[in-house]
Amino acid sequence: MTSRRQFLAAATAACATPYASAFFSLGRAPAVAPEFAGIDQWLNSAPLRMADQQGKVVLIDFWTYTCINCLNHLPSVKSWHDKYKDKGLVTVGVHTPEFAYEKSTKNVQSAIERLGIKHAVAQDNSYATWRAFNNNYWPAVYLIDKKGKIVYSHFGEGRYEETEKTIQALLAQ
C-alpha cells in the first residue's frame, strides 16, 4: 500500500520528469517492455520483436477498428508515424478485438485500408500482448525508450501534445 507521503513524492517527481505519466506516478520504476505475444497476424509489416527494437523509440497503440475513441485518436497516431518514422520511431498498432467479428483478419485489413493506416499492425485476437502489457483500455498508448523500457503511457483520447513532446524527447536522447 502506498502511503500519502510516498504518493505525494512520486507525484511531485512525475511532474518534474518530462515524459512521466499517470502509469508511473505511484513510484513504480519503468518496466521493461514485454515481447509481442500470441500475435495471430502481422499486417503492414513482417513480424516484429521487441528485442529487435533496441536503439529505437517504440509507440504501442492498443486499438480496435469499431471503437469511436480509437478512431478519434487514430489521426494523431498516423501523424506521429509519418513525422517520426525516419527519425527512429517504430509505431505498432496492436489490434485487440472487443467483438467476435473484429477477429476477422479480412475485416481488420479492410479497416486498415479504409483508415489509411501505414504503420505495423499486430492482430492480438487472444489478448496475449494486451495481458503482457497489463492493459485495460482502448485506446492506450505506451512509449518505449531506446533501452526497451516503458517510460510513458496514456489511456483514452487526449494528451496529444504531451505525447508528441514525449516522442520528441525520447528520440533526442
Over its C-alpha atoms, the chain yields an Rg (Å, rounded) of 16
pTM of the model as a whole: 0.83
Please state, rounded to an integer, the average pLDDT across all residues of the chain: 87
Task: Look up residue 25 and give its three cell numbers.
Answer: 506516478
CA dist., res. 100 & res. 78, Å (int): 26
Contact call for residues 149 and 23 (beta carbons, < 8 A): no
Q: What is the pLDDT of residues 111-149, one digit of tens each?
A: 999 999 999 999 999 999 999 999 999 999 999 999 999
Residue 100 Rama label (left phi>0; alpha psi -120 to 50; beta) = alpha
Q: Which of 54, 89, 93, 82 is nearest to 166 (CA)?
A: 89
Q: What is the pLDDT of residues 47-76, one digit of tens each?
A: 999 999 999 999 999 999 999 999 999 999
CA dist., res. 118 & res. 86, Å (int): 13
CA dist., res. 32 & res. 45, Å (int): 23
Neighbour count for residue 25 (Cβ, 10 Å)? 16
Q: How, if at all, do strands 57-63 and 89-95 pair?
A: parallel
Structural domains in the chain?
Answer: 30-172 (3.40.30.10)
Task: Look up residue 146 and give its three cell numbers.
Answer: 531506446
